[in-house]
């Protein structure tokens, strides 16, 4: 068995470990299998990474079979598999993460319309957020990757920190590292419940960026590992990088910058636009592969691609999960069948 990635001592014997805390994850994914109107619809950006496998000699009539091999449930299961992992760390380190989570989940009860302090245990709050980006990076199945140096730093901090205990010695020892780290937390309490439960929540983690950024459910968090990064504002993260939210560090209390439904919604619109672009690019690729598979050369004629995409995007409300797989199959099937005769002629012509 591998060694635990956190303590690097014990066997990595923990299974079903959450990369993102359960109390946030359960809002994103329907992990309790609850059915009904309150069921939140999920989306995780890696779920877009759909690999379609084409069988041999596919006819347009069989499009449904070609695309129908992954249901939304299966896509969700794949996304879940990147967020619930086995044998990455040990049970005792998992206990530490669980303690951090149960501590932080209590701060959700506090909410205000103006900037507020969520907890005076600022070291605990910082460790909570660091534990998430470390887990995402260390398990390597999602976007966010810490630099090797930062991963080492954060591993050391998490390994020696003891939740709920006196950490004076720890703070003294690690103050040169802790002093440099600051972060911003934006929160729009119950955003999705208020705005549109049909759309569900997002988990996004920025790729190769400083500050490190994650957006999970109603939180967006930017983490600066160096004071000098505060000046740089290098990375774009759905306009959160342009906000001037309250900074927190390990000894100032955790300050939350609340965002109204409208404000948070303006960032969500950027996320939706971004995902739409990614999806459309991916769909173009799939359509061209399909086109060749059904016996043509080159790319699917632009007017047919355009028609499929226009049909898919005609309904703005479909931008949530419903806009994904099944709609694509349906639109492609309809449009390709409609152009069946034209496509036959293209085939005969060459
Ligand atoms: Zn361990």
pLDDT at position 341, please? 75
- Select from 134, 85, 93, 100 the least CA-distant residue to 10: 93
Is residue 10 within 8 Å of 288, Cβ to Cβ? no
- In the reported structure, the alpha carbon of residue 136 is separated from the centroid of ligand 1 by a whole-number distance in angstroms of 16
Ligand 1 is an ion; residues with CB less than 5 A from it:
4, 6-7, 10, 90, 93
Q: What is the pLDDT of residues 214-268, one digit of tens each?
A: 888 889 999 999 998 888 766 678 888 889 999 999 998 999 999 998 998 888 7
Ligand 1 centre to CA of 119 (Å) is 27
**CA 88 / ligand 1 centre spacing (Å):** 9
Ligand 1 centroid–CA 8 distance in Å is 6
CA dist 179 and 278 (Å) reads: 38
CA of 202 to the centre of ligand 1 (A): 29
Average pLDDT value for residue range 269-282: 70
Contact 40, 28 (CB under 8 A): yes
List all residues 6 or more positions away from 309 whose beta carbon is below 8 Å from its beta carbon: 280, 283, 284
Contact predicate 170/107, CB 8 Å: no
For 188-206, the pLDDT digits (tens) are 998 867 765 544 556 676 7
* C-alpha of residue 152 to centroid of ligand 1, in Å: 15
Q: How far is the CA of 125 from the centre of ligand 1 (A)?
A: 21
Backbone CA torsion sign across 131, 136, 140, 146: negative
**Distance from the alpha carbon of residue 215 to the mean position of ligand 1, in angstroms:** 27
- Tell me the CA–centroid distance for residue 203 and ligand 1, in Å: 26
Read off φ and ψ for residue 147, nearest 5 degrees.
-65, 155
* ipTM computed for the complex: 0.99
pLDDT tens digit sequence for 129-185: 999 999 999 998 777 889 999 999 999 999 999 998 999 999 999 999 999 999 999
Q: Give the three-state DSSP class for 236.
A: coil
Cβ partners under 8 Å of residue 104, min gap 6: 21, 119, 124, 125, 128
Distance 158 CA to ligand 1 centre (A): 10
**Burial of 254: CB neighbours in 10 Å, binned 0-12, 13-18, 19+:** buried
Give me ligand 1 centre to Cα 131, in Å.
13
Please give the distance, rounded to the nearest whole angstrom, from the Cα atom of residue 67 to the centre of ligand 1. Answer: 42
Q: Tokens standing for 76? A: 């969700």
Alpha helices by DSSP H, listed for the chain, are 22-28, 63-67, 72-81, 91-105, 122-139, 148-160, 168-180, 191-195, 229-232, 261-293, 302-313, 325-338, 340-349
């Amino acid at each position: 068995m591998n060694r635990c990635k956190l303590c690097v001592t014990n066997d990595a014997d923990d299974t079903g470990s959450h990369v993102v805390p359960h109390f946030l994850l359960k809002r994103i994914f329907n992990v309790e299998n609850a059915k009904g109107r309150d069921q939140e619809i999920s989306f995780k950006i890696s779920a877009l990474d759909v690999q379609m496998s084409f069988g041999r000699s596919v006819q347009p009539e069989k499009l449904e079979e070609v695309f129908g091999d992954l249901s939304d449930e299966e896509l969700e299961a794949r996304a879940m598999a990147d967020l619930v992992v086995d044998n990455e760390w040990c049970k005792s380190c998992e206990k530490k993460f669980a303690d951090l989570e149960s501590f932080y989940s209590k701060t959700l009860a506090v909410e205000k319309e103006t900037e507020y302090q969520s907890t005076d245990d600022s070291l605990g709050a910082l460790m909570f957020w660091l534990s998430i980006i470390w887990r995402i990076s260390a398990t390597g199945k999602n976007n966010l990757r810490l630099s090797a140096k930062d991963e080492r730093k954060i591993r050391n901090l998490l390994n020696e920190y003891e939740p709920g205990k006196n950490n004076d010695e720890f703070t003294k020892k690690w103050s040169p590292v802790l002093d440099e780290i600051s972060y911003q937390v934006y929160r729009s309490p119950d955003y999705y419940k208020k705005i549109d439960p049909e759309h569900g929540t997002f988990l996004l983690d920025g790729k190769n960026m400083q500050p490190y950024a994650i957006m999970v459910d109603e939180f967006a968090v930017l983490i600066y590992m160096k004071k000098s990064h505060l000046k740089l504002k290098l990375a774009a993260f759905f306009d959160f990088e342009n906000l001037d939210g309250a900074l927190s560090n390990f000894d100032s209390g955790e300050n939350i910058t609340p965002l109204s439904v409208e404000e948070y919604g303006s960032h969500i619109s950027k996320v939706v636009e971004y995902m739409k672009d990614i999806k459309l690019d991916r769909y173009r690729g799939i359509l061209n592969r399909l086109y060749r598979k059904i016996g043509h050369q080159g790319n699917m004629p632009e007017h047919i691609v355009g028609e499929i995409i226009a049909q898919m995007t005609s309904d703005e409300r479909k931008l949530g999960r419903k806009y994904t797989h099944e709609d694509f199959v349906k639109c492609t099937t309809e449009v390709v069948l409609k152009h069946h005769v034209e496509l036959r002629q293209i085939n005969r012509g060459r």
